């Protein structure tokens, strides 16, 4: 097999995610939609197509606060949602009357023609706010950013918070935990912390006597 160049994994820091989600103008309907969309993509770690295919009936907001995501191979998984995310979704659903039974199978996120968003459309939304975040904040965002970066970011943040790889696998919908292990391999911060914990200094703490002996140094320089 021909060797391929290994590309470093792109992901945002927590500060980067915050800066990104601060950009949508929540005074407008489109801004409120974009905030609900991007925050859901990050919080659930869902693939862009999985989010596009969501319908209101995919959500359970009765206290259990879960979302049913259909992924590759038509496999479904249940992902819990936190209160902040649920609050955004409830406001969005009420605004567009998606809680009505007749809209249960309507796309959860749609464009001005009430049609399902496309992958290119969602990517355009993300890039637009990423460019805005670069101009309005001092937080670093990768030059190349895509919807999958939000998925990588969620996985890395869960890993850095100490969440077991098995749970991360289930949230992301990976078939095998071996696929999820790529995040552990890419987490340079965790590697550094592990090295620091195991580090034992073996270097001599005192300088050699001749370094502080000016007479000896002067004598050596005279040769």
pLDDT at 162 over 70: yes
Of the two residues 191 and 53, the one the predictor is more confident about is 53
* DSSP of 44-90: HT--HHHHHT--GGGEE-SSS-EEEEE-GGG-EEEEE--HHHHHHHH
Using 50, 70 and 90 to split pLDDT, how confident is the model at 178?
Answer: low
Q: What's the pLDDT tens digit per position in 73-84?
A: 888 999 999 899
CA distance 39 to 27: 17
Instruction: Note every long-range contact of 79-83, with CB atoms under 8 Å and residues 24 or more positions apart, other chains counting.
Output: 79/44, 79/45, 79/46, 79/171, 81/43, 81/44, 82/43
Number of Cβ atoms within 10 Å of the Cβ of 81: 21
pLDDT at 97 over 90: yes
Which residue in 47, 96, 152, 169 is the catalytic one? 47
96 given a catalytic annotation: no
Which residue in 30, 72, 75, 128 is the catalytic one? 72
- The structure's pTM equals 0.77
- 173 in Cβ contact with 53 (< 8 Å): no
Q: What's the pLDDT tens digit per position in 16-42?
A: 999 999 999 999 999 999 999 999 999
151 given a catalytic annotation: yes
CATH superfamily of 14-146: Intergrase catalytic core (1.10.443.10)
114 given a catalytic annotation: no
Which residue in 77, 151, 152, 157 is the catalytic one? 151
* DSSP of 174-190: -SSHHHHHHHHHH-HHH
- 116 in Cβ contact with 107 (< 8 Å): yes
134 given a catalytic annotation: no
Indicate the range of 58-67, 179-188, 192-201, 208-217 predicted with least confidence.
Answer: 192-201
Average of per-residue pLDDT across 51-68? 92
92 given a catalytic annotation: no
pLDDT at 182 over 60: yes
42 given a catalytic annotation: no
39 Rama sector, left if φ>0, alpha if ψ -120 to 50, beta otherwise? alpha
Indicate the range of 69-78, 112-121, 197-206 predicted with least confidence.
Answer: 197-206
Q: Domain ranges in the chain?
A: 14-146
């Amino acid at each position: 097999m021909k060797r391929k160049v290994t590309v470093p994994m792109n992901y945002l820091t927590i500060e980067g995610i915050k800066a990104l989600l601060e950009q949508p103008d929540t005074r407008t309907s489109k801004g409120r939609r974009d905030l609900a969309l991007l925050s859901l993509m990050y919080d659930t770690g869902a693939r862009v197509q999985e989010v596009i295919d969501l319908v209101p009936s995919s959500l359970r907001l009765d206290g259990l606060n879960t979302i049913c995501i259909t992924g590759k191979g038509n496999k479904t998984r249940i992902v819990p949602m936190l209160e902040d995310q649920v609050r955004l979704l409830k406001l969005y659903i009420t605004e567009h009357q998606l809680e009505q039974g007749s809209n249960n199978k309507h796309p959860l996120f749609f464009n001005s023609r009430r049609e399902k968003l496309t992958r290119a459309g969602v990517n355009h939304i993300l890039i637009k706010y990423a460019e805005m975040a670069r101009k309005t904040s001092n937080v670093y965002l990768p030059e190349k950013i895509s919807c999958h970066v939000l998925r990588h970011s969620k996985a890395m943040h869960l890993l850095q918070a100490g969440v077991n790889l098995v749970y991360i696998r289930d949230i992301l919908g990976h078939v095998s935990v071996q696929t999820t292990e790529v995040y552990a391999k890419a987490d340079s911060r965790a590697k550094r912390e592990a090295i620091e914990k195991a580090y034992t200094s073996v270097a001599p703490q005192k300088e050699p006597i001749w370094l502080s002996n000016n007479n000896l140094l002067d004598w050596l320089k005279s040769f």
